[in-house]
Chains A and B, each alone.
Chain A
Amino acid sequence: MELGMSNVTRRQFLQWTAAVGTTGFPLTGRGSSGRVVVIGGGVGGITAAKSIKKAAPSLNVILVEQKKHYSACFMSNEVLAHSRSLESLRFTYDGLWKYGITVVNQSAVAIDAAVHKVILEGGAVLEYDRLIVSPGIDLRYDVIVGYNRRVAEKLPHAWTSGDQIGLLRTQLEAMQDGGTVLIAAPKNPFRCPSAPYERASQIAWYLQRYKPKSKIILLDAKEIFSQQALFMEAWRALYGFGTQNSLIDWHPASEEGTVTRVDPDAMAVYSGELDTVTKGAVINLIPPQMAGMIARTSGLTDDTYWCPVNKTTFESTKAKDVHILGDACNAQDMPKSAYSAASQAQCVAAVVVSAMSGVGEIPLFTHLNACYSILGQDWAISTVGVYRSNSTGTILQSVEGSGGTSSPGAGATQRKHAVEYAHSWYQNITHALFT
C-alpha cells in the first residue's frame, strides 16, 4: 500500500489549525456573498469555478491547484502516433484571473468539513461556505505485485499525461523494429474507458509507418470494453486484426489478460491464472485507479476508493457542503471523462449558486458525455450519453432511447468528418477552459 498519509483525524486538523493560525487568506467578501473554494485545476474544477463566477459574480471563488501548468490527457494518445506535439497539450492558468477567480498555486493537504476549512501545504487555512473537490485520479500501486512509483518510470502508465506521455513516446521511438509493445488495461472503472484501445490504435498507426515488423500485445483485465465492435472493425480494416500479421493482439481476462505482477528487470509481466509470462520491449502498464489523494485523506472515499455522492447535487454523502465531481466521484452510468467532468461542473455550479443565494430549490440537470476516439488515418468513432438522476439522488442513469455509439459500417466520409469534429472538440474545450 502506498496511499500516502492516513486519514486526517479531527484532532490532527485542529492541531494544525492551531499551529498555523488562520492567516494568509483573510475572508474577504464573506457575508452577503460568500466563498467557494475549488480544489483541483482540471476540467471539473476550472469549469465549476468559471461557471459559478459567471452565474454569481459577487461570490469569492478560489481555485487551489498545485501545478503551474495543466497537461491535457485527452488527445494525448495522438502524441504517440506523432500527429501531435507534447507542447500542444500544455496550458497555463493565467487566463482564469480575468474572470475574477483567485488561483492559489499550492497543494491542499486536508479538509475539515465540520468547520468548513481547507488547509494548504504551506500551512495557510482557507475557509469556505461551499467546497468543490475535483482532484482527478491517483494510480494504485497496491494491486499489481512488484509495481510501484519507481517502476512506473520504466514501465510508464502515461495515464496522467505530461512527462509520462513523453516517456512512452521516447521509448517507442527508441524501440527497434520487430519489438513488442505491451499494453495492460485495468478493470472498470478507470479514467477514460476507451483510451487504452485508442492508444493501441495510435501506437499501431505509428508502428505501421515506422516499425512495421513490430506488434502490440494488449492484455486486458476485462472481457469486453467500450465500443469494442467499432474498435475491432477499425483494427481489421487498418491493422490486420484477426490475421496472422495483425499489429494488435488482444487478450481478455479469460485468456490470461489480467496482469497480477511485474518483473521490471526482465521487462516481463505475469498474467492470468496460469501466471503466463509476456515480455515487452516497451511496457505501458495502466494500473487500477482511485480518487485523488485529498479525497482519500479527508475521508471522502468509501471502500471502492472512489467518492460516494448524491447523484443530483454531487454533494458528498460523507461531508456536508462538499461537492465532488469528475473522475474522483462515483457517478454510476457516467463514464470518467473530460466531458462528464465539465457537465457535472455545470450542474454543481447551478446547485451551489442556488444554495448560496438562498433559493433553496435544487435545479435538476440532464448531463451529457461525448467521447471521440481517433483510430488511424481519417478514422474516428464516437460514443455519447445523456444522463438524468432520480429525485432522491440515488441513481444517475442513461436516458432511455438516447446515447450510444457511432454506427459500425459508417461510411468513410462520416469517419473522416468525425476526426475533424474530434479536433474541433479539443479546440473548443481547451479554449473554454484556458482563455
Chain B
Amino acid sequence: MLFVWVGAVLMTTGVVAATLGGDRLPGVCAGCHGEEGVSAGSATPTIAGTKTETFVQRMRDFKTGNRTATLMDRIANGYTDDEIGRMGEYFSKRPFERAQQPTDRAMAERGKHFAEQYCASCHEEAGTVDDGRPGILAGQWLSYLRFRLEDYRLGVDRIPKKMRLGIESILHEAGVEGLESVLQFYASQK
C-alpha cells in the first residue's frame, strides 16, 4: 500500500520538480539536518540515504506520537503525505556521509562483539545499510545515538521485543558502559 502511494506521489510532482532542476521543499530541513540531509551538527542525525519508506514511516510515527521528538512531532503535523513523500524521495537519493568524530577505539572494539551478537540481525552489515525500518547507524552522530538509546532504555519509545531483550542482555553483561561501547562501534565506522 505504501509503495503504491509513493509511486503516485512521483507521478504528480516529479514532472514539475524535474523541470525546476530540483525540488526546493526538502531545503527546509537543512537548517537542522544539514545541506542535502548530511548533518554538520553533532546532535542532529544525518537523514541522507534514508529509504523513502523509512522516512515516511518516521514522519508518520512523529505525527501519531509513536516516536518521541524534541520538535519533529510539531513539524511533521504540518506536512501533507504528498510533501512527506517528496522529501523522502529526495533524501533517499542523497548519499549518507559518515560523521567525522572522535571515538574510543578500545571501546568500539568491545562494542563490535555486542553489536554482532545482539544487533546485527536487524542492523545488517555493521549498520551501514537502511533495509527498511532500522535506518543507518554506521557513522551517525554519537550524541544522537545516545539520545535515541536513552529514550529506548527509559521506555519513552517503544521498540521491538528483540531489541529490548538485546539491550537488557548487554546491560546485564557489561552495564551502561556496554551499551556505550556499542554506540562507539557504530559511530566509529568511517
The interface residues of chain A, by DSSP majority, are classed as: helix
Q: Does B32 contact A (CB under 8 A)?
A: yes
Q: Does B100 contact A (CB under 8 A)?
A: no
Number of interface residues of A (CB under 8 A): 53
Q: How far is the CA of A413 from the CA of B149 in the complex (A)?
A: 13
Which of the listed residues A363, A367, A401 has the most CB atoms from chain B within 10 Å of its own CB? A363
Q: Which residue in A51, A359, A418, A426 is a CB contact (below 8 Å) of B24?
A: A51
Q: Is the CB of B77 within 8 A of A382?
A: no
Contacts A402-B77, A428-B41 given; does A359 touch B34 at CB 8 Å: no
Q: Does B134 contact A (CB under 8 A)?
A: no
Q: Does B39 contact A (CB under 8 A)?
A: yes
Q: Which residue in B30, B41, B75, B147 is a CB contact (below 8 Å) of A384?
A: B75
Q: How far is the CB of A276 from chain B (nearest CB, A)?
A: 39
Contacts A363-B20, A406-B70, A428-B41 given; does A386 touch B27 at CB 8 Å: no
Q: Does A370 contact B (CB under 8 A)?
A: yes
Q: Does B31 contact A (CB under 8 A)?
A: yes
Report A-chain residues with C-beta under 8 Å of the C-beta of B33. Answer: 428
Q: Which residue in A54, A361, A382, A427 is a CB contact (below 8 Å) of B41?
A: A427
Q: How far is the CA of A361 from the CA of B17 in the complex (A)?
A: 11
Report A-chain residues with C-beta under 8 Å of the C-beta of B74. Answer: 384, 402-404
Q: Does B143 contact A (CB under 8 A)?
A: yes
Which of the listed residues B20, B21, B29, B31 has the most CB atoms from chain A within 10 Å of its own CB? B31
Q: Does A343 contact B (CB under 8 A)?
A: yes
Q: Does B5 contact A (CB under 8 A)?
A: no
Number of interface residues of B (CB under 8 A): 35
Q: How far is the CB of A44 from chain B (nearest CB, A)?
A: 13
Q: How far is the CB of B61 from chain A (nearest CB, A)?
A: 16
Which chain A residues (373-424) contact chain B, with CB distance < 8 Å? Answer: 382, 384-388, 399, 401-404, 406, 413-414, 417-418, 420-421, 423-424
Q: How far is the CA of A55 from the CA of B71 in the complex (A)?
A: 29
Q: Does B22 contact A (CB under 8 A)?
A: yes
Q: Does B174 contact A (CB under 8 A)?
A: no
Q: Does B16 contact A (CB under 8 A)?
A: yes
Which of the listed residues B29, B30, B34 has the most CB atoms from chain A within 10 Å of its own CB? B30
Report B-chain residues with C-beta under 8 Å of the C-beta of A384. Answer: 71, 74-75
Which chain B residues (43-59) contact chain A, with CB distance < 8 Å? Answer: 43-44
Q: How far is the CA of A402 from the CA of B19 in the complex (A)?
A: 30
Q: How far is the CB of B6 from chain A (nearest CB, A)?
A: 18
Report A-chain residues with C-beta under 8 Å of the C-beta of B19. Answer: 354, 357, 359
Q: Does B131 contact A (CB under 8 A)?
A: no
Q: Which residue in B21, B44, B77 is a CB contact (below 8 Å) of A401?
A: B77
Q: Is the CB of B16 within 8 A of A421?
A: no
Q: Is the CB of B83 within 8 A of A353?
A: no
Q: Does B102 contact A (CB under 8 A)?
A: no
Contacts A386-B77, A386-B78, A428-B44 given; does A350 touch B20 at CB 8 Å: yes
Q: How far is the CA of A413 from the CA of B90 in the complex (A)?
A: 32
Q: Does A300 contact B (CB under 8 A)?
A: no
Q: Is the CB of A424 within 8 A of B43?
A: yes
Q: Does B42 contact A (CB under 8 A)?
A: yes
Q: How far is the CB of B140 from chain A (nearest CB, A)?
A: 13
Q: Is the CB of A359 within 8 A of B39?
A: no
Report A-chain residues with C-beta under 8 Å of the C-beta of B44. Answer: 421, 424-425, 428
Q: Is the CB of A361 within 8 A of B42?
A: no
Q: Is the CB of A420 within 8 A of B43?
A: yes
Report A-chain residues with C-beta under 8 Å of the C-beta of B78. Answer: 366, 368, 385-388, 399, 401-403
Q: Is the CB of B21 within 8 A of A386?
A: no
Q: How far is the CA of A417 from the CA of B75 in the complex (A)?
A: 17
Q: How far is the CB of B12 from chain A (nearest CB, A)?
A: 13
Q: Which residue in B42, B75, B143 is a CB contact (below 8 Å) of A370?
A: B75
Contacts A54-B22, A431-B34 given; does A363 touch B16 at CB 8 Å: yes
Report A-chain residues with C-beta under 8 Å of the C-beta of B143. Answer: 420, 424
Q: How far is the CA of A185 from the CA of B147 in the complex (A)?
A: 36
Report A-chain residues with C-beta under 8 Å of the C-beta of B42. Answer: 420, 423-424, 427
Top 10 closest A-B pairs, CB basis? A386-B78, A424-B41, A402-B78, A431-B40, A346-B27, A424-B43, A427-B41, A402-B77, A420-B43, A55-B21
Sample of 7 more A-B contacts, CB < 8 Å, known A349-B27, A357-B19: A350-B24, A361-B16, A413-B150, A420-B147, A426-B41, A428-B30, A428-B35
| A-B CB contact pairs (8 Å), 21 listed | A47-B27, A54-B22, A342-B31, A343-B27, A357-B19, A357-B21, A359-B16, A359-B20, A365-B24, A366-B79, A368-B28, A370-B31, A370-B71, A386-B78, A402-B74, A403-B77, A406-B71, A418-B70, A420-B147, A424-B39, A428-B39
